[in-house]
Every structure is written in C-alpha cells, then in structure tokens.
Structure 1
C-alpha cells in the first residue's frame, strides 16, 4: 500500500465495501461464540462462584475496551480520513516499528492457524458425540460406546477445502449468518438442558472457591487453564481489522465497528454468563470439560444431537472467518514475488448451483495452496486431540499480544501519549496485568498438555 495515497484513493482502488453494523456483528459473533463456550461450566467449576463470573466479566470489559482502541487504528494517521490498513499487521506497521511487525505477524498467524486446529478437534468431538448419543439411546447409558474421530476430522477438512475457494470474508457473509444462528441454537439448547437439570436438583450446586483438587498444584494448574479457556472464548482481535475492512463508509468505519463490537461482545457475555453459571449450578464441581459432549445430558438424545450438529455447522463458518486472513496474506506475498506466474494468476470459473453471485472464480494456486494448508491443519489436529488444553493454550498465547499489547501501544502512538503521563501509566499497567494472566494461563495449559501426552496416542482421537 502506497503511503502517498489518501484513504479515499485506497478505498476506491481496492474492493467495494458493503458491510454494515449487522454484518460486522454477525462476523464477530461467529468468531467469538465458538468452541470456547463449551468449556465455561468447567472453567467456572475451577474458579468457583466468586471468581468465575468476575473473570468472565473482566475479560469482556478488557476485550471491548481494547477492541475500540484497535478499531481506531484501521486508518493512519487520522482514524477517520487516514490511509486504510486492510489487515492487522498493516496497522501495526503503520503505527509501530519493524520489530513489532515481526512479533505481530508471528503471534497473529500462529494464533489464527492454532484456532483452526482447535476448531477441527472440536467439530470431530461433536460429531463423535452424536454417534455416541445414538448408541447410548439404543443400548443404555452404561454401554461402552466408543467412537474414533479421525474420519470426522478428515470430512470436516474436505468441506473446508470447498469453502476455502470463496475469495474473502465479504463473499461468505451468509456463512457467518448461518454460523451465528447455529451458535445461538446450541447455546440455547445447552442453557435449556442445564436449566432443566438445575430445576430437577432444586437448587444450585457448586462452591464459592470451586473444585478443591487432589493437590494445591493441580488446583492451581486447572485454575490457570480456566483463565486460558475464558481468554480463548473472547478472542477475535486477530480478525477485527479484517472484519472492519468489509464496512462501507460513511459513516466512518471505526464508528460502525465500535457499535458492532458492543453488540457482539454484549451478546456474547450474556450467553457466557448464562451458560457458565447455569452449567456450573447444574453440575457443580463435576462439570464436564465440554458441556454438550461430556454427556452430562443423555436425554432427550435427539436434542443433544441437534446441539452438536449446530456446533459443527457453526464451526464450518467460524473456521473460514479465521482462515481467510491467512489465505489472503499468503497469496498476496507470493503474488508479489512471482507477478508473471500463470499458476498464481490465471483464473478459472465454475458455476455453483443456487448461487446468486454467478460463477465461482478461482486460480490453481488458490486451490492447491489453500487445500495444502487445510490438510496440514487437519493432520496436526489428529496428532494433538486435547480439547480443553489446546483451547486454553491458544487463548493464553493470543490474548495478551493481539488483544491488549498491540492495541494499547498503537493507541499510545496514535494519540502521542507521552511516557509517564497518567494515561500512559494506566494503559501500560493494564498491559502488564494481562501479560501476567497470559503467562499463568500458558503454564496451566502446558501442564495439562504434558499430562495428557502421557496417555495419548497420535492419530487416535477416542471419546
């Protein structure tokens, strides 16, 4: 992107933006309300009735505040009339130095790709849960109903290869809308089932301090892991700029994005508190790691099946929200390196049934490279099939740098806040506090992964 061009020139010279506050809200909810919601009852059990809700609210407030700072960095240097930064790393490049650009690129794309791994594992577990639920219904709850997830991971990967041929997020808004609808569906089902179980008990289970644990060390590790799970449940900063780049202007993109963020984070927090508290109240300290696949509910089996199918459909859309920025960056880099290569630039068209937008256009490079990335992601998911630990580690690694450190420092650079200024001290204090949370969550997640590796077999996800 040329620095000499104005924001208007860039906007007219790139692609047409048609997004609204509602389409952006759909993308945000699709990205945020994902597999992380399924761990909240377990996370509440590790933290208890006092810390659990406070942690969820704390992450919501921090995420919303830093997201508003990041939305102001979409344009440089002026947040309304400046040059557009189409992706997160371009915003970092505009406001900060080359060292921060390298750190951002590493953190963002590793976190994006890791999220794809987590979604592949989660979708397979949900499909396995459907298979086991039907088995339990036929043979009884005591029957040993085993299921393997490798085939389900491969099927999920094949569908993602097809969906990956859409050019960008703007072309899959419909998929995000479907993802939001299904996320609401399984969230309501989980809430309804938990509420029913809670009513049958005649009161709330759980304790003020959560699970006691077999030792203080295990209690600490699990509490740290729960922080990572909640952080993962709120992570979407790594795609915020990309979502903002779909918005039409006027009104200014930052204004629309802040409204969409408020709606998205607000809806998410209501669901998280409802599901986390109701799930913990229903199961107490025995809350399963995944509330819909841990078989806290056996009946009605068909409703449990619908919820898990909705999870899979939701993750099909959410996967692409996180994958499209990786595809875009990779393809942009290689296209600039080999501008004359026919393999990279020659376009082909295929008619898609029931498509109102006409034939689907693609290049051989897009077909091959995107497919290879998805196959690699599926392979890694088959090697490390740990649900809670993987989500906790991803949340821990992505939360501080992407959701806090870069938005805070870009805001300081944009507003030219001097070192030692009261606002500078408060912002850096917030960043340091979140860094300590990320370190603690990383330690807890790694401890759980090391423990799980002793019992795991590569390419064998049994549930």
Structure 2
C-alpha cells in the first residue's frame, strides 16, 4: 500500500488552489527554470580551469576524463531525481533537501554522513566562489592597467577589497527568504555563464587562428621540460579534482527539483532538465578546455580569463570578467540557500517559542511590496557571509581550492548516495549483474576522489609556503 502524504490545499475564491498537496506555496517551476538553475550551478568557476586541466593530461586523457565525469554525473542525477518523493517517485511524500532524501531512503548513520558531506561541500563552494569573483574583479582593473601601462607593468592589485564588495552584495541578496524567489537570479546568472564562456571560446579560437607556436602533446605537460616527474603526477591528480568540481551540482539537485510543478511528475521533468543542463555544460567544457589548450599549449594558465593569456581587446576581457562576477553572485545564492534553510529549520524546531528566531516583521519598501524581515535570519545569514569572506581571504588559491572541493564532494554526493538509494529502492539482489557494476563504479570513483584530494592538498601546501598574507595579490 502506497504511503501518500496529502494535506488539504487552500482554495482561492476563484476556485484555484494556491498550495500544493503538502501545504506549501504552489510550486511553479518548469524544465526551463530547472535547466537554468542547473546551468547556473554547473557552469561556474570550474570552466575557467579546464584549459589548465587539459594541459596536465593532454589531448587523449583530458577530453576522455571530461566525458566520463559528464556521463557519471548525468547517470547518477537520474537516480537521484527518482528519490525526491518516497516511497513512490510520483505520488510519495516530498523530501525537500538532499539530506532528507537520504534519511527517507537510507536513514541512520548514512543520513548523518550525507549531511556532513553536503554542508562541508556547500560551505567550500561559497568560499571558492568568493575567491573566484574577487579574482575576476581584480582582473578587470589589471586588464585596464596593462592596456594603459603596457604588458610589462606588474600591475599589483589587492583582491581583499573586492572580496568585501562581493560579501556586501551577498549579505543583501541573502535576506531573500527562500530558494523559490531566486528563479530570476538564476536565469540572469545562466545568461552570464554563456556570455563569459563564449567570450573565452572566441578569444581562444582567435588565438589559435592567429597562429603562433604553442607546445601541445597527447600526454600534456612534458616531464623534464615543463615539470618534474612527481610534479606531473600531483598536477594530474589536481586536474581530476578541478574537473570533478566543474560538475558539482548533485548536492543542490533536490532543492532545484522542489521548485517544480507537480504535473508532469517532477522526476520526469528533472531528468529532462538534467540532460539539457549537463549536455549544454559539457559542450562548453570540451570547447573551453580543448580550445584553451590549443591556444596556450602546455603553458595554459590556471584561470584562462584572469591569468592573462589574453591582453587584448582589453574591453572584451573586462566584459568576460564582469560576467563571471555577476554569474557568481547568483551561483553563490544557489549553493548557500540550502545551508540557510537547514540552520533556520533546526533553530525553529529547537526554540519554537523564541520570538527572535520565529518572529516575522513586515517592512514597507517604497515602490515595492512589503518585505518580511526576521531578525535571526538577518543576523545568521550576515554572519555566515562574513565568515566565508574571511576564509576566502586566508586561502585565496583558485585551482587548489576548487580541486579539493571537487574531490571531497564528488564521490559521496554525486556517486555513492544516489547509487545506494537506487539499490535500496529497487530492492536489487546482491551480486546481481547490475548491483556488481554499480558497486564497481562507486569504488572506482572513490579511488579517483582520494587521489585528486591528495593532489589538491599537496598543491595547497606548496602555495601556503609561498603565500604572504595581507600583501597585494598579483
């Protein structure tokens, strides 16, 4: 017998219902808005490091790893989409967050491990986006400096003020009460993604077409010429982590799915949105990575729009980096809203009588509808943004930080939990053919995550030795 969770929705005077069956405000999302959310979450700072990642692995392994991560991410996202409702994927009770899905399907200790992995990843992503946005803002000033004073000028710019500016913007946007109000921001951010990816592609293509000798090879950077043997190994590990980070979106898939209308079924719409989102991003990734490598060769910079492989036209470099910053403003909110929701829900359950935590106060905004203010929400969200900004100032290392986040989150959130939930929901027989190859896939991905994490940690250790805090950043 199916366990359905149904509550009577309220009916408006005209006969329409303004609540879904779970008593929450009626969801209005479609495959278009879900695809925009996914593209916003997936095409982020990860695309900027792909030319460098391909350079470490070469023409054969680089694209092959990109396509492998693309396939694995899409496959496991389809498994996860069927878990939004339980026990039935169409009529079952809704689970509003990734961790609730794991609790409903696996329960116990796995639920606790999932929550730990998810929120560590989300915090890491918000720190990483603060770093990347500030680097792009700095790149605008440096681009103008190079144009004015010549490419030989050092043009040192401190990126801390830009991190503070980014944090101030996020403090304001973070006061938006919930994820459902952010569709417009995701659509704007998705447009920005296409804009700066296209500019990067165009500049790479122009550089390739313009000739000039760059060294590329089937195996990437050459031992004894570009790097030592051990450096080659560490860099390849780190490159795998960068690519894993580029595909990190499974941890917000459930929150995205929870914005969809209930008809047609959410799981079917989410699978379509995942296919569109991942196919679109993979196309950009392959083009950005391969054309970037063709343009710069084995000397590809860690960030191909801020590493100044390109200097002119300076205004186009400026536009690309402005688009990155705007995109990351939206992407930060996509990833931070689940953290806000978790803490606020836990606080309300812990202190249900607290007026500070539960009280809502209407504030009239000129020319706008009244805005609901909660003092706890304002204080907590502001504090979170400030803390992530401070951590970004302490560890402003682009490639290593992205690689570490990607390697730590890829296996548990993108592979392990979706596969385990699918096996449990389908009541799959142990040691059957499907069970065996799913377990093999999970173990292979675990090994890949471990070696890429080791590579990123080694890179961070090297950078920390060279790093002088509170000095102008180049």
TM category, shorter: over 0.9
Matches within 5 A, 1:360-371: 360-371=371-382
Q: Which one of 325, 330, 334 corresponds to residue 343 of structure 2?
A: 330
Matches within 5 A, 1:40-439: 40-201=50-211, 205-212=215-222, 213-352=226-365, 355=368, 358-439=369-450
SS at match of 2:82: helix
Q: Which has the higher helix share?
A: 1
SS at match of 1:361: strand
Kept after mapping to 1: 8 A contact 2:3/2:92: no
SS at match of 1:385: coil
Q: How far, CA to CA, are the matches of 1:353 and 1:258 in structure 2?
A: 41
Q: How far, CA to CA, are the matches of 2:42 and 2:191 in structure 1?
A: 13
Q: Tell whether 2:19 aligns with 1:14.
A: no
Q: Which residue of 1 aligns with 2:13?
A: none
Structure 1 runs not aligned, ≥5 long: none
- Call closer, same or farther: CA 1:350–1:416 in 2, change over 3 Å: same
- Call closer, same or farther: CA 1:198–1:95 in 2, change over 3 Å: same
Cα offset for 1:15?
2.7
What do the CA deviations read for 1:24-71 (whole angstroms, capped 9, x no partner)?
A: 000000000000000000000000000011011110000000000000
Q: How far, CA to CA, are the matches of 1:208 and 1:450 in structure 2?
A: 29
Cα offset for 1:352?
4.6
What do the CA deviations read for 1:185-214 (whole angstroms, capped 9, x no partner)?
A: 000000000000000116875110000242
Q: How far, CA to CA, are the matches of 2:155 and 2:134 in structure 1?
A: 16
Kept after mapping to 1: 8 A contact 2:189/2:327: yes
Q: Which residue of 2 aligns with 1:33?
A: 43
Equivalenced residue count is 459
Cα offset for 1:287?
0.4
Q: TM-score, normalised by structure 2?
A: 0.95
Kept after mapping to 1: 8 A contact 2:3/2:87: no
- Call closer, same or farther: CA 1:45–1:351 in 2, change over 3 Å: farther
Q: How far, CA to CA, are the matches of 1:95 and 1:8 in structure 2?
A: 22
What do the CA deviations read for 1:87-111 (whole angstroms, capped 9, x no partner)?
A: 0000100111311011100000000
Kept after mapping to 2: 8 A contact 1:205/1:282: no
Cα offset for 1:459?
4.1
Kept after mapping to 2: 8 A contact 1:382/1:461: no
SS at match of 1:201: coil
Which deviates the most, 65-74 or 417-426?
417-426
- Call closer, same or farther: CA 1:460–1:321 in 2, change over 3 Å: farther
Q: How far, CA to CA, are the matches of 2:108 and 2:177 in structure 1?
A: 29
Kept after mapping to 1: 8 A contact 2:208/2:295: yes
Structure 2 runs not aligned, ≥5 long: 9-19
- Call closer, same or farther: CA 1:461–1:262 in 2, change over 3 Å: farther
Q: How far, CA to CA, are the matches of 1:353 and 1:122 in structure 2?
A: 34
Kept after mapping to 2: 8 A contact 1:53/1:273: yes
SS at match of 1:349: strand
What do the CA deviations read for 1:144-195 (whole angstroms, capped 9, x no partner)?
A: 2000011100110010000001112210110001100111000000000000
Q: Which residue of 1 aligns with 2:14?
A: none
SS at match of 2:175: coil
Kept after mapping to 1: 8 A contact 2:207/2:295: yes
Please give the root-mean-square deviation of Cα atoms over the aligned residues, in Å. Answer: 1.5
Q: How far, CA to CA, are the matches of 1:134 and 1:92 in structure 2?
A: 49
What do the CA deviations read for 1:288-336 (whole angstroms, capped 9, x no partner)?
A: 0000000001000000000000000000000000000000000000001
Q: Which residue of 1 aligns with 2:17?
A: none
SS at match of 1:73: coil
Kept after mapping to 1: 8 A contact 2:156/2:472: no
Q: How far, CA to CA, are the matches of 1:143 and 1:71 in structure 2?
A: 52
Kept after mapping to 2: 8 A contact 1:76/1:85: yes
Q: How far, CA to CA, are the matches of 2:388 and 2:319 in structure 1?
A: 26
- Call closer, same or farther: CA 1:353–1:432 in 2, change over 3 Å: farther
Q: TM-score, normalised by structure 1?
A: 0.97
- Call closer, same or farther: CA 1:461–1:316 in 2, change over 3 Å: farther
- Call closer, same or farther: CA 1:384–1:131 in 2, change over 3 Å: same
